[in-house]
Amino acid sequence: MGRSDIPDLPYRFEDQVPYLDGLIEALGLKDVVLVIHDWGSALGFHYAHRHPDNVRGIAFMEAVVRPMTWDGFPPDFRIGFKMMRTPVLGWLMISAANMFVNKILPSAMIRKLTATEMAAYRAPYPTARSRKPLRMWPTEIPIDGSPKDVFDVVQSYNNWLGQTDLPMLLFYASPGGTIQADELAWCRNTIKNLQTVDIGAGIHYLQEDNSHLIGAELAKWLPQILPAKTAAE
């Protein structure tokens, strides 16, 4: 993804998991604080579920907190994602036309990206081959139980989210994308040790809509969950 290498992988969810596990292990990271979004949230929640003793806290936004249904999928994106999950058509839309970067990205935030910002987002994906990760991720969303293996992973960590005492911080926006009113209510009613922050207007890419508030609130939250010396560093 992005400026990372693009090895010859299927780019399914299960292919991403060992890379995150391997990164944390190779760097010798202990008591990690995960700040996660979108598919990064699924990978992060899955890691924390499997390694709860190595996670100090989780901050998340526009996350995959539970399996989805088409009826519950954001209406503004439902038709597009159904099309992207259709063989051949999905390849034409994402790999050939680069629609994920050109259309979906700017439509999933409130503010308008500048030409320079759009060029930076396009830069890592100049060819159809380089867009393979972008093409695969929409097909991995567990909607109405499919794909089954990803559904099972999300359902498993979803159950864990209702049991763990791990400190968590949720950033949400209005109207939001994957975290709208129902998901926000579920998180507040289910996750035991949860704080929430309203960032104001935003859709899916909240970091683009209110990055400074997100950073400031993270800076306030971290000393609450980290030892004093670590927080000061």
Phi-psi region of 144 (alpha: psi -120 to 50; beta: other; left: phi over 0): left
Strand partners, 182: none
Q: Which of 38, 140, 208, 209 is catalytic?
A: 38
Q: Which long-range contacts (CB under 8 A, 24 or more apart) does 214-220 make?
A: 214/61, 214/171, 217/169, 217/171, 218/35, 218/59, 218/169
Q: Which of 37, 49, 62, 208 is catalytic?
A: 62
DSSP annotation of 70: T
The set of residues, in sequence order, having a beta carbon less than 8 Å from that of 147 and lying 6+ positions away, is: 12, 139, 140
Nearest residue to 46 (alpha-carbon basis) of 12, 20, 72, 9: 20
Q: Which of 140, 183, 204, 208 is catalytic?
A: 204
Establish whether 37 is a catalytic residue: no
Establish whether 204 is a catalytic residue: yes
Residue positions annotated with a catalytic role = 38, 62, 204
